[in-house]
Chain A
Amino acid sequence: MPAVSKGDGMRGLAVFISDIRNCKSKEAEIKRINKELANIRSKFKGDKALDGYSKKKYVCKLLFIFLLGHDIDFGHMEAVNLLSSNKYTEKQIGYLFISVLVNSNSELIRLINNAIKNDLASRNPTFMCLALHCIANVGSREMGEAFAADIPRILVAGDSMDSVKQSAALCLLRLYKASPDLVPMGEWTARVVHLLNDQHMGVVTAAVSLITCLCKKNPDDFKTCISLAVSRLSRIVSSASTDLQDYTYYFVPAPWLSVKLLRLLQCYPPPEDAAVKGRLVECLETVLNKAQEPPKSKKVQHSNAKNAILFETISLIIHYDSEPNLLVRACNQLGQFLQHRETNLRYLALESMCTLASSEFSHEAVKTHIDTVINALKTERDVSVRQRAADLLYAMCDRSNAKQIVSEMLRYLETADYAIREEIVLKVAILAEKYAVDYSWYVDTILNLIRIAGDYVSEEVWYRVLQIVTNRDDVQGYAAKTVFEALQAPACHENMVKVGGYILGEFGNLIAGDPRSSPPVQFSLLHSKFHLCSVATRALLLSTYIKFINLFPETKATIQGVLRAGSQLRNADVELQQRAVEYLTLSSVASTDVLATVLEEMPPFPERESSILAKLKRKKGPGAASSLDDGRRDASSNDINGGVEPTPSTVSTPSPSADLLGLRAAPPPAAATAPASAGNLLVDVFSDGPAAQPSLGPTPEEAFLSELEPPAPESPMGLLADPAPASDPGPEDIGPPIPEADELLNKFVCKNNGVLFENQLLQIGVKSEFRQNLGRMYLFYGNKTSVQFQNFSPTVVHPGDLQTQLAVQTKRVAAQVDGGAQVQQVLNIECLRDFLTPPLLSLRFRYGGAPQSLTLKLPVTINKFFQPTEMAAQDFFQRWKQLSLPLQEAQKIFKANHPMDAEVTKAKLLGFGSALLDNVDPNPENFVGAGIIQTKALQVGCLLRLEPNAQAQMYRLTLRTSKEPVSRHLCELLAQQF
């Protein structure tokens, strides 16, 4: 091959680049650039028409300047001119400039699209490819609108060149991802599938990517791709290392295509056709066999390419999770890699094994590698490899090895990198709780955590140990003894003081018999730490002291002395001062009986999901893939591993400054459970439920939004993650909605948040927000049992015409939901036009082996897209008159089902979405509202009037809208609310 000389063809450009490189300072560079910009500007403005070559050269220089990081505000027109040149090199620079510097200047877009159109029609494959690459690189909606219909034609046309087909396939992929609505499915889809058979491997390589994307949204339309993909894969896998010539890479036949085919197959369940399945299993076995053969080359490229296929094969085997033999073979293969000298392979093997650990067929096989994995945790140099090892240990943990794994993780914690300490702490805490046979081990483990990594032990972790000790009387004495001993250390972490203070305040009496831990000793031990602690801890200790007065009357005088001290009674911190004053008074005025009642032992905490687990999930961030992995990793703890004892759990936790005694808030238990840790989504969602019903005040939108944003700082990237399509199973797959679905739906007509559904197994919470014709809904699926849900799959279904009226995009959720755990699903909703029936939420999962299914109505009703409109009385009446056609009005007279309270009614109407207009109706008892329903296709103006009649306990509701079915529908929805 001839080498390309430096900047050949454009000498001026090469000189300019050299000049820039020779600049000694940033200033010199800017000066040189400004000089060049002035030069180019004058050339472009000059009278003399530039020839194509000069134009190309200057546009290319502008591009170079832009790539150096400088703004370019001219030259776009000249670049567009280059597009219509008939010389390749000029066209190429024009397209490159457009692709890199695209802006949505409408005037230019029209010209650009025109040039692209000409090139697409040129029948010159080089020009067609340039045009297609430009569309693929820009991928804007305008280009989609202009070309989405043409490209499928080019893709399947019999006379298209191979290279054009390749580009067209990926160009279409880009447009489909950017704006799926613009790409019409049609007869071309079947022909696209057949590209899998194409002779040209490059065409197949490009087409597989397109099909993989399309089939995710339309699995049934592309089902035929399975057998074609299998036979293609089979031909590649069984070919000799030189058969595929151009497509053999370091003796590996078509590695990238193989990987893509294996990924395509992961979009589907195992093939139903026995012959196809047999052929596929053969392929998978061949790949596993080849991994055992001696390498054909010592080059790392050879082994990487080979292993790329192997890892993807293992992913497919795990995806099917139905072939025990293959799963175990996969596990053994990965086991070999665990000790490979290549760090990459060790890393990937650990990662892949994590998912294998969740399969019942391979869990035991994974466990046999425990020593290697522990060794990796201790010796790997790359922190990311150690992290994978920690993940795998967490995934393979069950009752049989929990003690070993927890102790290894604790040991690792002492030297672990700061970045991952908190995660390790959470994992240890979860494992210790989950697999605790005797709770003394659990208590020891958590106290060890605090000792080793106190700074990384979050509130959730130490709240949790308090909850568990409170709920289990068999461990209380041990806990008291252990914290007492731990507190003996001269320097102990403040978290230890918190835990110690709380436990001794509750259960110190259990060890008071021993003279070495007599009440005065306990007190002076705690009090010796007091002055070194933060305000929150000191507040907690004051509560411990008042509890001591009740537990140990003999300490009363000493403690009253402490409370009475000026440093407490006149403390600058109002919380400490108030506690000191109140506790002192309480201990002086209350009788022993009252004291004993007020300061009684805390009641057990209600059982709920472990807040630590929730925290670990939050930490994992919003990445869809990682949450999926999480599901699988967590699944390691499912009941096949020997049954998980249901553990007491709760989300509600006392905040450090919460009044442990409930002196200021009655009744006492409420005080202990109510103050939830701030920002805990779970708590908010579920506490919203019952409480929200009586009062329908406006939700604090701002706070709501900030809470729901992904916690990670990198939200811009997170937002761009591809949402999984809402796959629509056919109607035959979906059961009818449960009988109470309508009733549940009605609860949400006037509010956006709350508990949508609850039974013994599961709770579904909803949070949603709507703006204009768009909405976002968060569904929270909480597993109330202690057993994992498997094959958990919620889908959104659009019955009837709804598909064309409402677009709902869902993100996939993990297929497993652990006992006590909660998963979140995000739905993006777009109202396309007015609609009457809500979408259905169909939920399927396996609980203890038995399939469960449930269909609910999603609380998305047309009024959610209301935009309130304020207007004066005059305008209102004018519009009211305009909407006087009989069909535009809907009216209902009905009996009140709830007490007729004007404030509640107002709140409901506001919740319904319309604006409430004062001073419009002559009768002040009546309510008048106005709003516009925003859909993508049209807007529907709505006026409403509600006339309560208190004497008759009746209402009359009148709706007038510009669209007849909407009036009737809104009227029905709203009438059920009063």
Chain B
Amino acid sequence: MIRFILIQNRAGKTRLAKWYMQFDDDEKQKLIEEVHAVVTVRDAKHTNFVEFRNFKIIYRRYAGLYFCICVDVSDNNLAYLEAIHNFVEVLNEYFHNVCELDLVFNFYKVYTVVDEMFLAGEIRETSQTKVLKQLLMLQSLE
């Protein structure tokens, strides 16, 4: 299962942190820093997977943003790698060419997108069409 999802920029600023298990605030901060440290030193020739504590991080870089998903060691790497991409494509469609600033100014909407696609640490919905239709519907509500 997913333990947490992080979106960070190269400087280490967190653009989204979604936790699926209990951590206290200090621990969260520590995790955020550690993830940033392990992910940013890697280059394109490296794998998209890093062992991390008792888990592993599946990550992918889009421009200046690192999308990281922390999952159990036995979880399927490629499935989560593509789950990231699927998520990014939805964001891109929803925000119309998404950029880092969209995530900053609409942080509360990003959570909605996440909850549509991932819930309780599991993949909830994978169809981009369905997710976008739902988001659009919510958008139209007052």
Contacts and interface: CB of A to CB of B under 8 A. Distances in A.
Interface of A: 1-4, 6-7, 14, 17, 21, 60, 63-64, 67, 69, 87-89, 92-93, 96, 99, 126, 133, 136-137, 139, 163, 166-167, 170-171, 173-174, 177, 201-202, 205-206, 209, 245-247, 249, 254-257, 259-260, 263, 301, 304-305, 307-308, 311-312, 343-344, 347-348, 381-382, 384-385, 621-623, 625-626, 628, 712, 714, 716-718, 720-721
Nearest to A717: B53
A712 B47 CA distance: 25
B75 to A, nearest CB: 9
Most buried by A among B49, B83, B102: B49
A239 to B, nearest CB: 15
Highest count of chain A CB atoms <10 Å: which of B45, B81, B97, B127 = B127
A292 to B, nearest CB: 18
B125 A259 contact: no
A249 B82 contact: yes
Given A312-B76, A384-B50, A625-B73, A170 B122 contact: yes
B119 interface: yes
12 contacts: A4-B106, A6-B106, A67-B107, A92-B108, A96-B108, A166-B119, A173-B122, A255-B79, A308-B81, A343-B47, A623-B54, A625-B74
Contact of A89 (B23, B73, B142): B142
Given A209-B1, A344-B48, 16 more contacts: A3-B94, A3-B97, A67-B17, A88-B141, A93-B108, A209-B122, A209-B123, A245-B129, A249-B82, A255-B126, A305-B78, A347-B47, A381-B46, A622-B54, A625-B74, A721-B54
B101 interface: yes
A14 B108 CA distance: 12
Interface in B74-124: 74, 76-79, 81-83, 85-86, 93-97, 101-102, 104-109, 111-112, 115, 119-124
Interface in B13-31: 14, 17, 21-23, 27, 29
B108 to A, nearest CB: 6
A170 B55 contact: no
Contacts of B82: 249, 255-256, 301, 304-305, 308
Contacts of B130: 202, 246
Contacts of A17: 104-105
Given A301-B82, A381-B45, A626 B73 contact: yes
B37 interface: no
B126 A256 contact: yes
Contacts of A623: 54, 73
A205 B126 contact: yes
A308 B86 CA distance: 14
**Residue with the highest number of chain A CB atoms closer than 10 Å, among B48, B51, B54, B109:** B54
A7 B104 CA distance: 9
Contacts of A60: 108
Contacts of A721: 54
Nearest to B129: A246
Considering the complex of A and B, which 6 residue pairs feature the smallest CB-CB distances, nearest first? A3-B96, A308-B78, A174-B120, A246-B127, A88-B141, A209-B122
Nearest to B58: A344
B65 interface: no
Contact of B123 (A87, A88, A260): A260
Contacts of B42: 382
A136 B120 contact: yes
A757 to B, nearest CB: 31
A67 B23 CA distance: 15
Contacts of A625: 72-74
B79 A256 contact: yes
B51 A384 contact: yes
Contacts of A622: 54
B69 to A, nearest CB: 13
B138 A6 contact: no
Contact of A716 (B1, B27, B50, B141): B27
Nearest to B18: A137
Nearest to A303: B78
A2 B96 contact: yes
A716 to B, nearest CB: 6
A53 to B, nearest CB: 10
Contacts of B1: 209
Nearest to A56: B108
B48 A205 contact: no
A170 B119 contact: yes
Given A1-B132, A3-B96, A21-B104, A311 B126 contact: no
B78 A1 contact: no
A344 B136 contact: no
A541 B122 CA distance: 60
A479 to B, nearest CB: 38
A542 B129 CA distance: 79
Given A202-B130, A717-B54, A7 B105 contact: yes
A216 to B, nearest CB: 12
B49 A6 contact: no
Contacts of B115: 133, 137
Given A69-B29, A256-B79, A384-B47, A202 B124 contact: yes
Contacts of B48: 344
A255 B55 CA distance: 23
Contact of B127 (A137, A247, A259, A626): A247
A205 B102 contact: no
Contact of A166 (B124, B129, B132): B124
Nearest to B15: A67
B120 A173 contact: yes
Contact of A249 (B46, B76, B126): B126
